[in-house]
């Protein structure tokens, strides 16, 4: 738990959200690289606790992505994920929640997993391949932040 300058605990109490998207104009990235990375959000002062990372796409084929945190020049790889085709867009394939497919995350008092992201670090993703003409992938995250 973070402490303020008076050594009092800082609690995450304000919900917020952010998103990033890719389309056919975005080039492929690679594992352990920030080349062609797409920003989802930058953690605010005192950091954030990401509670959901939801992916939707209208891509006609499964798409692989790399999810990572960029902390200065350090890349913290979170995983490679295969996003099912048409996730959350065609009525048959649900949205894809990346947090439910990650292991080793801390949990809150209700046993819900969350991803801690420190102050100023950037949550990003990159495509392993490229999307087809007119195809889009959207990654939205919900997070808790402090009021200071």
Domain 14-145, CATH: 2.60.120
The first and second tokens of residue 37, run together, are 């990375």
Domain ranges of the chain: 14-145
The model's pLDDT over 109-147, given as tens digits with 9 standing for 90+, comes to 888 899 999 999 999 999 999 999 999 999 999 999 876
pTM tops 0.85: yes
């Amino acid at each position: 738990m973070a402490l303020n300058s008076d050594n009092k605990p800082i609690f995450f109490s304000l919900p917020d959200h952010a998103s990033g998207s890719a389309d056919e104009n975005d080039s492929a990235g690679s594992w352990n690289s920030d080349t062609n990375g797409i920003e989802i959000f930058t953690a605010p002062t005192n950091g954030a606790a990401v509670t959901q990372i939801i992916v939707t796409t209208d891509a006609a084929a499964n798409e692989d992505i790399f999810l990572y945190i960029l902390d200065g020049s350090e890349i913290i790889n979170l995983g490679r994920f295969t996003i099912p085709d048409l996730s959350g867009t065609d009525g048959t394939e649900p949205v894809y929640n990346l947090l439910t497919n990650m292991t080793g995350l801390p949990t809150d008092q209700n046993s819900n997993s969350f991803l801690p992201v420190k102050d100023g670090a950037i949550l990003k993703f990159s495509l392993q391949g490229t999307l087809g003409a007119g195809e889009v992938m959207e990654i939205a995250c919900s997070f808790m932040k402090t009021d200071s």
